[in-house]
């Protein structure tokens, strides 16, 4: 017990929470189960995502292209939550239309919000919050499983959460412990779980270890102003990863009139209670997804530019320019975008603690570089869609690239001048995506410099870019 509040796993009363009875982890196989947008074809498996795999384009030449990428997943799902908790309707433009945002929209609908979407434009009308009458499907989306429970805590009553087969492997316990400290009863420490918030939580102080995900802090911040007493969030562990994502949350909340103070230690945030003001918003392009296309130009000796690159951004992916420059690429800034090219690449020591989502892209660049590359500060990505460090090293080794794991990163020996020694993976010949969109991006990049690479599940890119293969084929000139 802590201050009279039960901590750890508890039994949720099935008479109060009928969804808790017989709930199970489910694998989403049909868009209809989400109750959201009609265009199911946009995120089902891409052609070739079967036993034969998707043949990654091998252009055999320098690529020159200008690419538009969809909206940022991180901004999109934060914007949806803030809009759902605001004091009136709002319109979001440039919203990402992908599986993770569809799951978020469905989750917010189940808690009382009206979400109407046409392409990349979304109209959000808040309604009285209420408990979900059916289990909320998180899929494999960290933003859904970490941003929505605090909203359910505001709603009161019992809401159950389920997800994909591997959803329970993603870290979640610290967030749920924080909600327990506020008075919620929660029957597990990972998906699936049921949250009983009684008549709704009032707020207060939570002490959590967010060293495995900054999303624990962001999830509490997004809902914090709606708690009667606000929230004091105290991080008690080692360094919080991907701190720019917290800065993004604070910045976006501030645009809605939410006051969040970062106190002296830098590990303590105070979210003041108050109104979340409705406002129309425009979502930036997803810079982490854009980084994959920038890397394509660099790897092939060409120039790929990203249209609409923001002049200022809190997205962690914005640091891709400095990563490219450190590895010898030329970064080209223009009023309407950003591009990159390179004659040759060099290995580097990269601390990607603040931008760990760029690890697969940096790994691809390292393969084509002279010398070795060491990437550190990314131990927390072992808890992403897969153990991303292990997956990167495994798949690069299978291609013939010398790579090894570190406790918080990896090392790669560059193959510049010897790329012809690399080959598609032995055995079934498939590059394993590990149900991870970032691993699929790595596989596609490897296909640009190694002929014959085939991805076992390129369809997993639907998580953040449903039409990834179309955009990739167009850039590569194979469509």
* Binding region for 3-phosphoshikimate: 73-74, 78, 213-215, 242, 357, 384
Strand order in the sheet with 372-376: 349-351, 372-376, 409-413, 403-406
Residue with structure tokens 């509040």?
Answer: 5
Contacts of 401 (CB under 8 A, 6+ apart): 367, 412, 413, 415, 422
Q: Which residues pair with 338 in a beta bridge?
A: 306, 333
Residues belonging to the binding site for phosphoenolpyruvate are 73, 142, 170, 215, 388, 438, 463
Residues belonging to the binding site are 73-74, 78, 142, 170, 213-215, 242, 357, 384, 388, 438, 463
Measured CA angle at 336 (ends 331, 337), to 5 deg? 30
In order of 144, 174, 304, 345, 456, the CA distances from 341 in angstroms are 36, 42, 7, 10, 29
Q: How far apart are CA 216 and CA 380, in angstroms?
A: 13
Active-site position among 357, 395, 405, 426 = 357
Q: Is residue 357 annotated as part of the catalytic site, yes or no?
A: yes
Is residue 281 within 8 A of residue 84, CB to CB? The reply is: no
Contacts of 4 (CB under 8 A, 6+ apart): none
96: Cα separation from own chain's centroid: 12
Q: Which residues are catalytic?
A: 357
């Amino acid at each position: 017990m802590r201050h009279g509040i039960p901590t750890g796993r508890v039994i949720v009363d099935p008479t109060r929470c009928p969804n808790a009875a017989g709930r199970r982890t489910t694998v989403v196989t049909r868009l209809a189960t989400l109750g959201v947008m009609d265009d199911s074809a946009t995120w089902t498996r891409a052609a070739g995502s079967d036993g034969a795999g998707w043949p990654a384009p091998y252009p055999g030449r320098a690529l020159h292209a200008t690419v538009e990428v969809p909206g940022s997943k991180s901004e999109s799902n934060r914007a949806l939550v803030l809009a759902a908790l605001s004091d009136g309707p709002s319109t979001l433009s440039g919203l990402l239309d992908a599986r993770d945002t569809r799951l978020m929209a469905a989750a917010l609908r189940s808690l009382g919000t009206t979400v109407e979407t046409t392409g990349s434009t979304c109209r959000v009308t808040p309604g009285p919050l209420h408990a979900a009458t059916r289990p909320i499907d998180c899929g494999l989306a960290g933003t859904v499983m970490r941003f929505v429970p605090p909203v359910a805590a505001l709603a009161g009553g019992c809401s159950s959460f389920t997800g994909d087969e591997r959803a329970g492997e993603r870290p979640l316990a610290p967030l749920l412990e924080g909600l327990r400290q506020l008075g919620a009863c929660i029957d597990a420490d990972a998906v699936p779980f049921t949250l009983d918030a009684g008549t709704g939580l009032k707020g207060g102080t939570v002490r959590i270890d967010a060293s495995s995900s900054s999303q624990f802090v962001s999830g509490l911040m997004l809902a914090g102003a709606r708690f009667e007493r606000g929230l004091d969030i105290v991080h008690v562990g080692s360094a919080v990863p991907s701190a720019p994502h917290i800065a993004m949350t604070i910045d976006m909340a501030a645009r809605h009139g939410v006051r969040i103070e970062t106190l002296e230690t830098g590990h303590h945030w105070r979210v003041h209670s108050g109104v979340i003001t409705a406002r129309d918003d425009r979502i930036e392009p997803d810079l982490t997804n854009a980084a994959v296309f920038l890397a394509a130009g660099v790897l092939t000796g060409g120039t790929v530019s990203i249209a609409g690159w923001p002049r200022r951004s809190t997205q962690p992916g914005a640091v891709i320019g400095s990563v490219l420059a450190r590895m010898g690429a030329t970064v080209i800034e223009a009023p309407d975008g950003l591009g990159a090219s390179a004659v040759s690449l060099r290995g580097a020591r990269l601390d990607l603690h603040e931008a760990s989502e760029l690890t697969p892209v940096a790994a691809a660049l390292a393969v084509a570089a002279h010398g070795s590359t060491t990437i550190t500060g990314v131990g927390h990505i072992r808890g992403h869609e897969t153990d991303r460090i292990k997956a990167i090293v495994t798949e690069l080794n299978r291609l013939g690239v010398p790579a090894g794991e570190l406790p918080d990163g990896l090392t790669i020996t560059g193959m510049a001048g010897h790329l012809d020694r690399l080959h598609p993976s032995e055995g079934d010949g498939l590059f394993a995506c590990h149900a991870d969109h970032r691993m699929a991006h790595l596989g596609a990049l490897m296909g640009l410099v190694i002929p014959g690479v085939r991805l076992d599940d390129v369809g997993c890119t639907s998580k953040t870019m449903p039409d990834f293969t179309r955009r990739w084929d167009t850039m590569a000139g194979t469509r």
